Structure 1
Amino acid sequence: MLNLTSDSCNGLCCIPCPASFVFYEPNKLSNIYTAANIIRAISTVCTVFLSACYLILPSRRKHPHFIVLLISMQLTPWEGLATAWLFKKEEVLCKSLYEIATMDNSWLCGLQGAGLMYMTLSLNLLGFILILNLHVLTVYRSTLIADHMTKFIVSSFILPIPFLVPAVVTHQIEYPGFGSICFLSPSAEAKYFVYPLSLIISLEFLLHLVTLAFNFRTSIRARYGSSATTYDTDNSAQSDMSKKGHRMHIARDISLLLKQQWRPSIFIYCVLFSLITFWLFGLIEAKKLANIGPTTTWFSNWIKCLGEQAMISIQSGKLSVTSTPDQLKEAGDIAQRVCAAVARPYIPSFAWAAMAEILPGALGVAMLLIFGSKMELWQDIRRRLSGHKEETVFVMGDIAKDFKDRQQQRGDDEEQGKLRQQQQQQHQHQHRRGKQDDRIYSEELTHLPQAAARFGTNAQYGRDPRTAPKAPLSFSMPSSPLSLGSFNSGAVYGGPVQKTSVTIQDSRELIYYQGARQASPVTYKSHQDDQNYHRERP
């Protein structure tokens, strides 16, 4: 059995280490690994620069920027260890020409594999803290993470240790047969790395989905509440406005948080996407080269193709007993290029392999672009270097206090404006109803003299004594004419004069009448026809 993760020889036939390189076109994997490690080196410089910027600024050494600082500081050795392939490729991947490197025969392989495993789990835990911080701020409006920051940070460094120690004790650190780094052996990768990483990534993803769902629901409710109109009583209207104002206040805070927290969210998405790509490649594609034997159909065809190409080179004079090393290499490259087509359907996808190498290597560059593009950072650095104090004060996560106060004042003004607008709409609605009632009410008052004539009761009508001539008009009407009106009155008695105050919902003026012992005018006034009647009860 030819195992590409141990001795790559089968009898007298040996495949040079790393064995996976020979199934592709000459230098194809080597070139992509070189490019990926150059990107890792650039990422290392980016994270060093960003860490230095955060270290010299006091506000960036506080929550929640402190988490970003820790991630940046951890990315520096994480990217730096992976660049060892550029300088020590033979020691990192291979012990000899035909044997892979392990933690037993290469200290650099052991250091790289253990360090990358530990820091990958720790980085994901720090990312989980970032997402959890955004969740509790948005959904619960709580400062739980800030209050227990030390405990969360310490736990992110301690939790990976139980998975690292067994892997090191059982000597499971080695070159996995594919890629440009030493990591866990394929047999131990799932137990010590894939399962815990999957759990962390799943929690991060689900927690962020819950946060997004809450934000969407709150935004919809706030938009619906702001567009709704109510014509209830004053108390219920004020209660509704209070609830709507509370929802609008929450939605405004959430919108402000999202505007300030989108950078950590985007960066965590980049981390998750790159690590998931790398993990799925190792789980699905890289295992295609785990065990290859002489009886493997495609491998036998590939060996046969190499033999045919060697015979062609001998017949053409490119190979002979006296061939130089350069001629041997040229003939071997030709055979490898031709026979790569035979192995292509059965080996890991080159595009996926390139993504699995480049995406994790570009995290440092992505981090600098995301967090370094913030203008406040450069303004604070300029003030710091010029000897001035920082002016940015952060509360509620990443929100500047002065900015939040301005947003709060603006929101209060908007709520008061909306409340006044709804009160005006309610008043206009009642005024329109009042005008309609005025027309009906005036028509009823016009027929009061005829009603009085039918009952045969003497009554006296005239205009309002305050504005009308003193000559009254006499009509006869019942002793209780208020029964003919379409309004509701309540009598209030005091002293010798009986006076009733009638309140009309449609803003009609007050109406008065007097008792039998003393004459007092009763005035009926309509907004439309301005007809006034005066009667005197017997």
Structure 2
Amino acid sequence: MAQSNSTAAFRCPYPFTTFVGSTANPGCFDLPGGKCCLPCPKADYFYPPGQQDSIMTMYQVFFAISFACALFICTTYILLPGRRRYQGFLILINNIGLALYTGSSLIALPNPKKTVQCAADGLTDANWDNNTRCAVQGTMFVLGTHMCLWAALAIMINLHVNVVWRSKILERYSILVYSTIILISVGLAVIPVIQRDIEAQPGFLCAVSADVVNQIFFYPQSVAVGGILLLHIATGCWMFAVSRRVSDGKKNWKKWVRKQIRMQWRPAAFTALSQAAWFAFFIVYRTNYDKIKNHVTSETPWIRAWVFCILQVNSTEGPAKCQSIAAPYVPGLGGAAFGVSIGILIGVFNSLVLISPQIMREWREYLGFARPMSRATSLSSGTDFEMSVSDGKDGAKSGSTYPVTRQPSQTAPIEEAGKRTRTSSEASFNLSSTVESRSPSPPATPTSTTPIISSKRTRPGVEFADTHLNLPSSRPILRLDPIAPPRGAPSILTDRLQYPAPVDIDTRVSGDSTGPGGRYTKPDGW
């Protein structure tokens, strides 16, 4: 009877709790007087008190910020008309995946550690079978990461095909490209769901079980990451080789390379960030998770030494005083937090790359805070687009813009002063507005009916990408000085240029361009 009362009065030392279940638990130990178990999550007790809570709070804040950025990018590419193009839809798919990935953290609220980390008994780690929230969060996380990476691969393929091969073949089969990305992502996400291989990870995320994570998660994604990396290298090598081969001078070559960097840095940085986030998560997952899950058993020597220390202290200060025993065997929180933060903040990094001044101007136009600017669509459509101009004297940006109108040419040929014949295969550009100059004397107004620029259309029905001619005025591309024809001179020819005052025209066309490296096409949608 005395022995029975002694057993009933036994209390497990802090932080252990008395084992009340009937199934084996790797966190339970046979101690003198009874069986005791480490509460879930077990990793908390191997670190200084409160440190894990601070890290989890930081993760939640980062996830919330990244989720908000992903939602903003999604909204931008859904609502703004100028973003609804092939490349824009690829970016949209990528950020929908990012929103799923970062938004999965919201399921862990209000108690990140208990909600998705533990089963109902408070001892067992959560998995697909014992925690519904963990199952939902893990599915969102896996699907979101797959969509991010496979969409990034499609963006890189599109960039490579446009720049190197000058082909629009992927754009012609855009529906097939979108469908392939979604089907691959959903198919890979369904595999762990069918196999019920979702379980809690250190922190407050549920993902693929460590036993099969390489086979059904990391290995398939490594195909996308490797493809992105190889295409980056191939595209860069092609640009370097071609520019060096046809360059007529070191100065011109350097100028062309700088131009390529200015035009291609957004898609390059976008896909590079996806790779960096993936590698950071992979390293943290593989180096940290196994140390916690696979070694918290009574057979592990340092665990037995830690338990003995807890029994010796036998107070609430036990974990703090015995933490030095566990420190060499558990992952350092500093490195783990840095690696995980890179993956979490991918939404912020994407936003810094994608949110350009052009997008902000389009938002102002959409909300009615700025005058809309029409877009160039086709040389034969007769639509307008705007060309920013600046005062030629001080390089400051003018307060107005020239609407340059594409007008269909007359079908009948016109002979003009012994010059070449204009036919229907040519399109003329007319100026029809005034320049707001900062000079003391106001400039004259160009005549709206005088043809200024004549350009030949070599391909029927050719379409421009979203054309925004708005380089900073301090870097003019074309300098047009005034032409003063003598009194009584005949009318200006259509292939001549005339302005009433010197102006700088800033032109950056996102269509075909020509440089020392041959012709290339700036990717649409950036």
Quote the residue 1:350 is aligned against. Answer: 333
**Change beyond 3 A, Cα 1:398–1:353:** farther
- Residue type of the alignment partner of 1:264: P
Gaps of 5+ in 2: 1-18, 378-462, 471-506, 517-526
CA contact (8 A) 1:137 1:396 kept: no
Alignment of 1:369 onto 2:373: no
Alpha-carbon distance in structure 1 between the residues aligned to 2:189 and 2:89: 25
- The 5 A counterparts of 1:367-446 are 367-372=350-355, 374-386=356-368, 388-393=371-376, 400=468, 403-404=507-508
TM-superposed CA distance for 1:345, in Å, is 1.5
For residues 98-144 of structure 1, the C-alpha deviation after alignment (integer angstroms, 9 at most, x for no partner) is 11112222211111111211221121000001111111112111112
Q: Is the CA contact (8 Å cut-off) linking 1:256 and 1:399 kept in structure 2?
A: no
Residue identity matched to 2:304: S
Q: Secondary structure at the match of 2:211?
A: helix
Aligned pairs, how many?
366
1:214-225 to structure 2, matched below 5 A, reads 214-223=238-247, 225=248
Distance 1:398 1:258 in 2: 19
Q: Secondary structure at the match of 1:348?
A: coil
- The one-letter amino acid of 1:129's match is A
Tell me the equivalent position of 1:281.
Answer: 284
CA shift in 2, pair 1:31/1:360, >3 Å: same
Q: Secondary structure at the match of 1:192?
A: helix
Report what 2:232 is aligned to.
208
Cα 1:406–1:20 shift into 2, 3 Å: closer
Contact 1:7 1:100 in 2 (8 A): no
Q: Give the whole-Å Cα distance in 1 for the aligned partners of 2:224 and 2:275.
A: 10
**Correspondence for 2:211:** 187
Distance in 1 of aligned mates of 2:103 and 2:184? 23
Q: Write the deviation string for residues 252-271 of structure 1: whole angstroms up to 9, x where unpaired.
A: 5x865542331222122222
Counterparts of 1:41-60 in structure 2, within 5 Å, are 41-60=64-83
1:175 aligns with 2:200: yes
Aligned-partner Cα distance in 2 for 1:79–1:127: 17
Shift of the alpha carbon at 1:305?
A: 2.2
Aligned in 2, Cα 1:102/1:137: closer, same or farther, shift over 3 Å?
A: same
1:160 is paired with a residue whose SS is: helix
Show the counterpart of 1:31: 54
Cα distance in 2 between the residues matched to 1:172 and 1:410: 53
C-alpha displacement at 1:32, in angstroms?
0.8
Partner of 1:78 in structure 2? Answer: 101
Report what 2:40 is aligned to: 17
The 1:407/1:159 distance shift into structure 2, 3 A limit, reads closer
Query: What is the Cα deviation at residue 407 of structure 1?
Result: 9.9
- Structure-2 residue corresponding to 1:241: none
- State the Cα distance separating 1:276 from its structure 2 match: 1.1
The letter for the 1-side match of 2:167 is S
- Residue in 1 aligned with 2:309? 305
CA separation in 2, counterparts of 1:30 and 1:406? Answer: 49
Pick the structure with greater CA Rg: 1
> Is the strand fraction higher in 1 or 2?
2
Task: State the Cα distance separating 1:165 from its structure 2 match.
Answer: 2.6
The answer as to whether partners of 2:97 and 2:146 remain within 8 angstroms in 1 is: no
Aligned to 1:259: 262
Partners of 1:370 and 1:204 in 2: how far apart? 17
Q: 2: CA distance between counterparts of 1:343 and 1:291? A: 14
- 1:162 deviation in Å? 3.3
Matched, 1:339 2:318: no
Per the alignment, residue 151 of structure 2 pairs with 126
Report the Cα distance in structure 2 between the residues aligned to 1:275 and 1:6, rounded to whole angstroms: 32
The whole-number CA distance in structure 2 between the counterparts of 1:117 and 1:74 is: 9
1:451-487 C-alpha deviation (Å, 9 max, x unpaired): xxxxxxxxxxxxxxxxxxxxxxxxxxxxxxxxxxxxx
| SS of corresponding position for 1:186 | coil
Query: Deviation at 1:97?
Result: 1.6
Is 1:64 aligned to 2:64, yes or no?
A: no
Are the structure 2 counterparts of residues 409 and 283 from structure 1 closer, same or farther at C-alpha, using a change threshold of 3 Å? closer
**CA distance in structure 2 between the aligned counterparts of 1:287 and 1:121, rounded to whole angstroms:** 23
Letter aligned with residue 358 of structure 1: S
Tell me the residue number matched to 2:171. Answer: 146
Q: CA deviation at 1:399?
A: 6.3
Shift of 1:197: 1.2
Deviation at 1:33, TM superposition (A): 1.5
